[in-house]
Structure formats: structure tokens, C-alpha cells
């Protein structure tokens, strides 16, 4: 009866003693270290103080249990599955394995840490709770130990002894394959790396096998890519993967008994990789060319270097642009010469490393892969933008009015042959205006006229010294002006056209006529002098223009609507050829005859004309849309388009920059005011000065 009772107690408390220990530990029923025992405590009596971890190392199973001098055998819970067992390792790991079902002999495992001191094993969980085992016998195949166990409802713990022997389970439980996964951190973003928990089982380790599937993520087409014989190795880096966007891997784990387990397929998305950054060593200018040197790429999956130039030192912003200037596919090549550096003040060069997956090493915000040159082409002018550009009629010079890099407005005369500023206005215009400045040669000399309120500021065109203002009495404001010769000037506002006679520094009203009766809420009224004393008044929103006649004394006559719309995307720029007798409608690219006012011709290219030749036979422009938002992807191109009215053929001319204003000079040369980087037009701002003048090879 006693044995039956003992057996019943055993089945309740002993056969699952390690589950019981685990549960009381997790529940927090720990014993404070300060309360271990007093001298002479029976629990610690007979402790085998010479026991070592090397002796404990291995797998054990309980065969007998003893309590109050009675001993009973411990059978397996499920005969078909073998015994429950436990394991000590030499690295302080204790594992308890117990079957919870006969179906496929399902097991559960509890992992604890342990210490051994003077024959006492202290088991601990992750929360610091502990339980003790006292070793009384320990040989190569036998372990006898004591534990305190709750035998009945009495809260007093009883001392129970257990006899265990070395045990060889059917095979390890696979505790490892499920830990297989990729590792991607800031420190290793340039490698495909997988890690797993090292094999630490009962049997001798054999190998890890790593398989890779690059097509469809299937084990059916996976290939063995690595066999690892070192059981302590817990990582794998694929140094030669295929150039795929998705690659899958799995692991097989083998011990001396064969295959222990294999993981499922674990995906790796290569778009998450970042190649190692490449750093510049030096950049210098040699004879107008830029020589770049950098450190060689260190990392995996190299594809090529890309050298680029941009207009921002770091980061990006409005009108940010970056363009490649070289591709190098040899990792060991670490220098490059840009033979055609951009026309940009202080260009910024950047170098990027690309991997075989298309990933790039660094973005614009990096400071290590870029180099700002304190240099620019001598022809790049110090303008952030240009409001007005007026070519000199008989010299290789252009008058510019715009804003400098420092934000100051400047009126200058520039020699584009020698790339020098030949004059700067000693008095800058004070009032902003949309009326283009003009240069005219008259009996008072060669002068530049700049609209200021209801007056014209007059400058000596040779040196831009300020002379005086020509004030208009009786006109509070005007929207455009034209010089007609013989000291006669014409002005217009939204309702009337006027003529004034100039005498040195004074202006006298001569004549006045009304024109449009519809008025628009802007200042885009435009005057266009024609031959034979005729003049047009137009507006880009009016379908027709008014034609007036003005005699040599300035008297205005006639005044009729003619079928010539002066449309130029609200800019006061109209192309007129007195030799060919046409006006170009710049919105529709139509030529209107100034003789009969009919459409003379329609052309497609250039899409955006900006000038004509002196004889009117060539229409000069580009296909770059001035209203397109600018970015690196904008379709602007470094090409001028020249349409010949006689042959009806278009010639494309390669340019150094992006052309904005093209004209023919007094020498018959085709001149382009261009920008080194894309911009909407000359009036738009840019991060750095890049405007220059080039002579086209035409």
C-alpha cells in the first residue's frame, strides 16, 4: 500500500519533476540566496564537493526515485517515445526535455542556466528564480542527487533523491533551424548575411548546409552554396549571389545521426542593401579639366563607380540637379578626368558605388563622397539670374541687368569674346520694371535707356555712366516704349499710345491716340516699330494688334486693328524682320506678314524661338520649354535648333550649355546666352551662378 501510495506520489510529482521545477521558477517561487541553509542542514549533507561540470556534461534520464528510505523505479511516460531526459553542458546550460504526447513523440524543452559549487547545482531562469540540486554520487554513467519537492498538500518541502543514468535519446530535438534568419543592420548593409543558433546537442556535430533559391523562392530549384563543418560558426555571408531582387535561403543541420532539421525558406530583398561608401582623396583642375581621385571600393557585389557633378554642396533643394560624367566598371581604377566640366561656379563632384542589384552607396546628404571645387570657367558670369539682356548692335558685347550671387542688382556691359565685364553702371536702377532696356544711337550719342516709373533713366552706353532721367509730363506710367529716330519716342499704357520729342534731357508730348477698349489687369502691352513710320501696339491676350502711323515730327495717325497677334507667353519679346517683312507669333510659331497681315508660314522647330538672324532668314531657338519645372529629369537639352526659311530645313547645333537667348551678332556669328545647368529661363533663380555666353559652331 505504501509502495502504491509512493508510486502515485511519484507519478504526480516525480515523473514530471523538471516540469514542476520549471513551473515554480516561472511562478516566482524562488529561494533567497541568503536562506540556503544552516550548518548541518540535512539537504546539503553528503554533497559531493568534488563534482565538476565535465563530469556532469551529457544527457541523463531518471531511473529511480527515493523518499524516506523507499525506492521506486521510474518508467517512461510513453514507452514508444523513450524516456524524458535532461542535459548539462559545460557552458552552464541546463535543458529539460519531456514528452507531452505520444503523437509523433512531441516534446517540450525548458532552458535554464546553472552553476555548480561544492556539489550543489543551482538552476536559474531568466527572471532570477532558482532551484537547487545536491549531488551525492557522480560517476561516468551514474548521477544521484537530491531536490526539495512538494509531496502532498503540506507546504513543507520534502527531500527526494533521484538516480539518473547517462541516456542516448533517439535524436536531438531541432532547436536550431527555426533561428535561421537574415541579419541586416547599419553595420552590415553591404552584405547578404544569415545567422542561426549554434548546434549544442547530444551527438557529434557534422555540418551546416546553406541552400539558395534565386528563381521563384522554391526549395525545388535551390542550390547548395555552402557546407560548414565548424559547429561554432553561426553566420553565412553570400559573396557571390545572383543579381536578383529577391533571393531565398534555408539551412540544413546534420549531426552524426544524420539530418536533424531544416528551416523554411527565408527571403532576402536585395533592394535593402547599401554598398560601402567611396571617399574622395583629391580633386584638382588641370588646364581646364578636372582630375578626381578616390579610395577603392571595399565591400561586396561591386558593379561600377558613377562620377557625377551637381549644383548643391550637400542635400538638395530648388532646381537641384546632378548629372553623370563618367562610369567606371573596374573596381581598381580610382581616378577620372572630366574633360568637359560644366559651366557652373564651384561645381560639386560626387562619386557613388553601385552594386549588382542597382543599389547606390550614398545619397546627396553625405559629406564623404563629394568634393566642391573652388573654381569655375572664366566665362561664367556672377549672376544668379538675368532680367534683361540686350546685345550691342555693332560689338561683341551684351548689356545685362540681373541679380548677382550676393543678391545685389547689377547693370553691366559684358564682352563675350574676352569674357570680361567692360563697364558697370555707377548708379543702379532703383525701380523694378518689366519693360526691357534698350540701346539706341542718336544725335545725343550711343545710349542705354532703362524704364523707371514714368521716366527713362539714360546711361552712356560706352561706360554705363548715369546721365539723367527723361521724365514724361502728363503720363503717370507707361508699359512699353520705343525709339523711332529723329528724337521721337513712343510710349503706351493700357488705353493710349503717345509720342514725345526729346531735346537733350527733356521730353515734350507731341501726340496721343487711343487703342484697345478692353483692358487686362497686367502691364503686358507691347510696342513694335515697323518700317515706313508704322508701329504696332499689342497684348499677348489680344487676338489682333493696333497699327498706327507716326510721321517724322511724331504725329500719330490712322489706328486700325490688324490680324497680327503679338503673343509671346506674357513676355514683351516679339521677333520682327524688316528684311523679310514678318512678325513671329511666338505662342503658335506663326509668321505674319506686315504687308498684308496674313499668315505667311508656320513652323514646328525650334519649339521655342528666341531670335532671328539679321537678314531674317534664320529662326533661332531651342526645344527647351521655359515653363517646365526644372529637375535632373527635365527634358531640356544642350542643343540649339536653327530653322532656315529658304530651305525649310532645321539644323541642330550642339551647345556647351542650355541655350536661352540666341541671336546673330554684327560679325554673322550665332551667339547663345546659355546656362551650365538647366533652368526655366534667364530670369529664374538657381543654386549657383551658371550663366555664360557661347559662340555656336554653325
Q: Which DSSP string do the residues of 475-539 spell out, in sequence order?
A: -S--SEEEEEETTEEEEE-SSEEEEEEEETTEEEEEEEEE--SS--SS--EEEEE-STTEEEEEE
Please say which residue of 227, 247, 272 terminates a domain.
272
Which pLDDT band, with edges at 50, 70 and 90, does 363 fall under? Answer: low
The 3-state DSSP class for residue 23 equals: helix
Same domain, 324 and 300: yes
Same domain, 613 and 674: yes
Domain membership flag for residue 591: no
Same domain, 516 and 444: no
Which pLDDT band, with edges at 50, 70 and 90, does 572 fall under? Answer: low
Convert the pLDDT of each residue in 333-355 to its tens digit.
Answer: 999 999 999 999 999 999 999 99
Quick one: which of 236, 220, 240, 216 has its CA closest to 228?
A: 236
Convert 111-146 to b/e letters by CB count within 10 Å (16 or more is b): ebebebeebbbbbbbeeebbbbbbbbebeeeebbbb
Same domain, 414 and 550: no
Same domain, 449 and 403: yes
Domain membership flag for residue 585: no
Distance CA 320, CA 308 (A): 13
Same domain, 11 and 94: yes
What is this structure's pTM? Answer: 0.75
Count of domains forming the chain: 6
Domain membership flag for residue 222: yes
Q: What was the pLDDT predicted at 153?
A: 73
Domain membership flag for residue 562: yes
Query: 657: number of CA atoms within 13 Å, CB side?
Result: 28
**319: CATH:** 2.60.40.10
Using DSSP bridges, classify how beta strands 466-471 and 670-675 pair: parallel, antiparallel or unpaired.
unpaired
Residue 16 has pLDDT above 90, yes or no: no
Domain membership flag for residue 581: no
Judged on CB neighbours under 10 Å (0-12, 13-18, 19+), 365 is exposed
- C-alpha distances (whole Å) from 98 to each of 121, 126, 141, 168, 271 are 20, 20, 20, 14, 44
Average pLDDT estimate for 306-330: 91
- Residues of the chain with pLDDT > 70, as a percent, come to 93
Convert the pLDDT of each residue in 514-526 to its tens digit.
Answer: 999 988 877 889 9
- C-alpha cell recorded at residue 228: 560548414
Same domain, 441 and 411: yes
Q: What was the pLDDT predicted at 13?
A: 36
Distance CA 18, CA 617 (A): 102
The distance in angstroms from the start CA to the end CA of the chain is 119
Same domain, 460 and 476: no
Domain membership flag for residue 393: yes
Please say which residue of 110, 142, 166 terminates a domain.
166
Q: What was the pLDDT predicted at 426?
A: 97
Please say which residue of 372, 395, 427 terminates a domain.
372
Quick one: which of 579, 589, 584, 610 has its CA closest to 672?
A: 610
Other CB atoms closer than 10 Å to residue 630's CB: what's the count?
21
- C-alpha cell recorded at residue 312: 548643391
CA gyration radius for the chain?
46
Convert the pLDDT of each residue in 200-227 to its tens digit.
Answer: 887 889 999 999 998 889 999 999 999 9
Same domain, 244 and 295: no
Q: What was the pLDDT predicted at 637?
A: 97
Same domain, 56 and 142: yes
- Residues of the chain with pLDDT > 90, as a percent, come to 79
Which range (114-118, 214-218, 230-234, 386-390) has the least confidence? Answer: 214-218
Give the residue with greater pLDDT, 569 vs 667: 667
Residue 197: give the domain boundaries: 177-272
Quick one: which of 428, 446, 426, 450 has its CA closest to 438?
A: 450
- C-alpha cell recorded at residue 5: 501510495
Judged on CB neighbours under 10 Å (0-12, 13-18, 19+), 180 is buried
Other CB atoms closer than 10 Å to residue 668's CB: what's the count?
10
Q: What was the pLDDT predicted at 301?
A: 98
Residue 28 has pLDDT above 50, yes or no: no
Q: At residue 335, what are phi and psi to the nearest 5 degrees?
A: -150, 155
Domain membership flag for residue 584: no
Convert the pLDDT of each residue in 98-132 to its tens digit.
Answer: 899 888 788 888 999 999 999 999 999 999 899 99
Q: What was the pLDDT predicted at 568?
A: 66
Q: In the block, which residue shows the cell 512699353?
A: 480
Domain membership flag for residue 161: yes
Mention every residue, 6+ apart, whose C-beta is less than 8 A from residue 276: 190, 297, 298, 299, 353, 361
Helix (H) or strand (E) run with residue 249 in it: strand 246-255
Same domain, 78 and 56: yes
Distance CA 438, CA 450 (A): 7
Same domain, 458 and 481: no
Helix (H) or strand (E) run with residue 50 in it: none
Convert the pLDDT of each residue in 419-428 to its tens digit.
Answer: 999 999 999 9
Amino acid at each position: 500500500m505504501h509502495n502504491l501510495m509512493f508510486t502515485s506520489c511519484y507519478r504526480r510529482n516525480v515523473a514530471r519533476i523538471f516540469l514542476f521545477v520549471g513551473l515554480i521558477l516561472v511562478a516566482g517561487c524562488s529561494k533567497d540566496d541568503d536562506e540556503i541553509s544552516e550548518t548541518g542542514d540535512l539537504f546539503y549533507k553528503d554533497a559531493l564537493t568534488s563534482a565538476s561540470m565535465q563530469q556532469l556534461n551529457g544527457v541523463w534520464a531518471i531511473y529511480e526515485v527515493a523518499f524516506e528510505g523507499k525506492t521506486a523505479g521510474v518508467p517512461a511516460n510513453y514507452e514508444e517515445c523513450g524516456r524524458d531526459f535532461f542535459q548539462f553542458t559545460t557552458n552552464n546550460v541546463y535543458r529539460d526535455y519531456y514528452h507531452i504526447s505520444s503523437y509523433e513523440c512531441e516534446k517540450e524543452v525548458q532552458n535554464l542556466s546553472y552553476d555548480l559549487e561544492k556539489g550543489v547545482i543551482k538552476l536559474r531562469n531568466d527572471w532570477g528564480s532558482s532551484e537547487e540540486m545536491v549531488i551525492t554520487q557522480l560517476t561516468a554513467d551514474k548521477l544521484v542527487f537530491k531536490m526539495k519537492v512538494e509531496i502532498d498538500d503540506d507546504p513543507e518541502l520534502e527531500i527526494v533523491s533521484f538516480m539518473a543514468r547517462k541516456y542516448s535519446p533517439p535524436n536531438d530535438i531541432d532547436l536550431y533551424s527555426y533561428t535561421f534568419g537574415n541579419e541586416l543592420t547599419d553595420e552590415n548593409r553591404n552584405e547578404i548575411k544569415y545567422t542561426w543558433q549554434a548546434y549544442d546537442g547530444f551527438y557529434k556535430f557534422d555540418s551546416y548546409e546553406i541552400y539558395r533559391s534565386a528563381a521563384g523562392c522554391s526549395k525545388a530549384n535551390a542550390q547548395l552554396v555552402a557546407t560548414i563543418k565548424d559547429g561554432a560558426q553561426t553566420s553565412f555571408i553570400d559573396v557571390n549571389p545572383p543579381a536578383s531582387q529577391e533571393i531565398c535561403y534555408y539551412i540544413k543541420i546534420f549531426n552524426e545521426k544524420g539530418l536533424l532539421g531544416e528551416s523554411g525558406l527565408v527571403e532576402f530583398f536585395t533592394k535593402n542593401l547599401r554598398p560601402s561608401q567611396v571617399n574622395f582623396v583629391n580633386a584638382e583642375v588641370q588646364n581646364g579639366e578636372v582630375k578626381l581621385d578616390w579610395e577603392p571600393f571595399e565591400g561586396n557585389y561591386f558593379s561600377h563607380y558613377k562620377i557625377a557633378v551637381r549644383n548643391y554642396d550637400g542635400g538638395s533643394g530648388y532646381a537641384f540637379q546632378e548629372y553623370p560624367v563618367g562610369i567606371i566598371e573596374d573596381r581598381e581604377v580610382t581616378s577620372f578626368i572630366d574633360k568637359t566640366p560644366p559651366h557652373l561656379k564651384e561645381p560639386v563632384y560626387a562619386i557613388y558605388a553601385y552594386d549588382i542589384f542597382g543599389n547606390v552607396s550614398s545619397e546627396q546628404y553625405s559629406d564623404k563622397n563629394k568634393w566642391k571645387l573652388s573654381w569655375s570657367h572664366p566665362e561664367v558670369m556672377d549672376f544668379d539670374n538675368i532680367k534683361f539682356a540686350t546685345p550691342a548692335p555693332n560689338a561683341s558685347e551684351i548689356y545685362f541687368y540681373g541679380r548677382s550671387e550676393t543678391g545685389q542688382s547689377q547693370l553691366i556691359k559684358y564682352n563675350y569674346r574676352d569674357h570680361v565685364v567692360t563697364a558697370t553702371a555707377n548708379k543702379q536702377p532703383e525701380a523694378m520694371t518689366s519693360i526691357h532696356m534698350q540701346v539706341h544711337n542718336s544725335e545725343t550719342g550711343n545710349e542705354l535707356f532703362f524704364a523707371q516709373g514714368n521716366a527713362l533713366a539714360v546711361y552712356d552706353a560706352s561706360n554705363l555712366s548715369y546721365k539723367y532721367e527723361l521724365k514724361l509730363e502728363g503720363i503717370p506710367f507707361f508699359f512699353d516704349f520705343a525709339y523711332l529716330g529723329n528724337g521721337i519716342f513712343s510710349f503706351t499704357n493700357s488705353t493710349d499710345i503717345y509720342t514725345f520729342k526729346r531735346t537733350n534731357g527733356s521730353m515734350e508730348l507731341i501726340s496721343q491716340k487711343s487703342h484697345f477698349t478692353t483692358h487686362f489687369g497686367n502691364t503686358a502691352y507691347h510696342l513694335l516699330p515697323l518700317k515706313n513710320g508704322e508701329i504696332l501696339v499689342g497684348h499677348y491676350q489680344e487676338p489682333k494688334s493696333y497699327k498706327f502711323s507716326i510721321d517724322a515730327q511724331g504725329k500719330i495717325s490712322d489706328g486700325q486693328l490688324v490680324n497680327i497677334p503679338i503673343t509671346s507667353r506674357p513676355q514683351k519679346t516679339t521677333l520682327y524682320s524688316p528684311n523679310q517683312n514678318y512678325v513671329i507669333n511666338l505662342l503658335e510659331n506663326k509668321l505674319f506678314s506686315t504687308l498684308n497681315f496674313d499668315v505667311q508660314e508656320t513652323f514646328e522647330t525650334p519649339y521655342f524661338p528666341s531670335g532671328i538672324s539679321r537678314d531674317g532668314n534664320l529662326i533661332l531657338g531651342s526645344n527647351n520649354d521655359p515653363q517646365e519645372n526644372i529637375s535632373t529629369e527635365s527634358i531640356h537639352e544642350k542643343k540649339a535648333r536653327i530653322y532656315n526659311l529658304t530651305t525649310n530645313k532645321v539644323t541642330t547645333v550642339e551647345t556647351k550649355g542650355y541655350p536661352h537667348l540666341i541671336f546673330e551678332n554684327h560679325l554673322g556669328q550665332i551667339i547663345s546666352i546659355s546656362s551650365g545647368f538647366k533652368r526655366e529661363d534667364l530670369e529664374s533663380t538657381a543654386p549657383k551662378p551658371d550663366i555664360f555666353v557661347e559662340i555656336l559652331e554653325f
